[in-house]
Structure 1
Amino acid sequence: MGRTRSWVAPLLVAACLSTPAWSQQAPALLYTQPLAPAAVTAVQEKLRQAGAYTGRADGVWGPDSQAALERFQSTRGLVTSTQLNPATAATLGLSPSELLAAGPGAGPAPGTPAAIATEPLNPAAVRNIQTRLKALDFYRGEVDGIWGASTQSAIERFQQGRGLQATGQMNPVTAREMGLDAANLAAPIR
């Protein structure tokens, strides 16, 4: 198969060990960050060793890589999804910290798998996101620092409006497009 890049990126979803009380009523917000080509290569190589991937481990996440991930999950009794989750990574023998340690290098290509940090965003960061979305007329709810369906929907609408992958989750590109500090979402808005 060709090396066509897929715009659907799997996510490495790391589980939170402690969940604050404010996030128990709504889904946790997780912060995404693209995996470097070296990390994508490691995932592809592990999928190849497991017999799920027949392509070249080249660091380009395309339809063949995505299909291999889903095949691997299905044959191992894992939740089949577009996401590289902790259970899948562990079954492949990969740790999230190793994948993130591969570093961004020159920057991953669009469509590469993404990793998610292990902790949900704090209320100050959520307030900044809500404030910015409100100023941009994407959010009509209360700026309360509580992540909920209306905040997530507003992010998704914002992403659609900017031609970004509409995941409803924060990532560095979305943060920058919103005018927020991608490295510190809780930083005061300029």
Structure 2
Amino acid sequence: MRSARLSHDLSLRPSASQKQNQNQTESIAERICFAVASVRPGTPYSPYDEIQSQWRTIMFKTLTTLTLTLLLLTATICAQSNGESKAFRPAKSQVTAAQQQLKEGGRYSGPVDGRYNDDFRAALKAFQSENGLEANGKLDQETLEKMSIDLTDSQKGIKPAKSGRRVFRVNKTQIAEAQSILSGSGKFSGEASGRYSKELRAAIREYQSEAGIRRTGSLNRATLEKMGIELTEAQSAIPVDPKDLEASKPRGSRGPVFRALKGQITEVQQMLSRKGLYSGEATGKLNPETRAAIKQWQSTNDIKTTGTLNKETLVAMGIELTDRQKQM
């Protein structure tokens, strides 16, 4: 029993090497404490000065790193906050207008309900791709402007993303002038309000088709120039989009589009009325009844049935042409 206890006591005693390490540690600790305790202001140099210098260096680097990290984090949060606050969101009425326009252009066949759907996004991407915009399937500011859809007051305060491409925009006066021109040719029967409408877009597409330019339903530079409408200085600085002229290539070099004047249309309506082909009023506008009567007259007189008053039809009817029409 005693031998076992003695063996246990001996096992608890430190070995010679452990005692040596312990003595060395205590010696180093005593030296550091002595060095720290013996430091006095004004002493030329001491171990404490070196420790303090190293400590200051570590603290300076740590504080600098923390400060830069906080500044970077703050800048990132501010940038995200500004981006979120200025996110462009189209109104429901704008989505509806875009759906209607894409539907009229044959790109979209879904519901016109002011809501996004897969077919609408696909139609937007196709429109954006054809008009040189980023094909993201979103109704952003540049897409709305390209579609000539009015922006809200809050949207006008949001600057579009910088890009090398400038968007061509028409003013109210130019739209009203185009409406008058289309009305004079019988393609448009609405008022010259200076605002886009479904009927106006249809008339513009009809005009563009006859003029040999791309059917967009919007008044781009190519269409305004074809109509003879004066451009503003800002518009003149924006070149014609080559895509807007693609439709005219197969037709070759065409001159100005032949347009019948309101007086000529009135005279034709009166003549068709006397022949019993037209029962409406002589309004000077090419309404559906007038077009149907013209087609019937053209068919009877072996003229290409178009339902429009082209040069050949007016001459055959004995309607006097203007000097400009004679040169076409």
Select the structure with the greater relative contact order (CA < 8 A; seq sep ≥ 6): 1
Rg (Cα) greater in structure: 2
Question: Which TM-score applies when normalising by structure 1?
Answer: 0.42
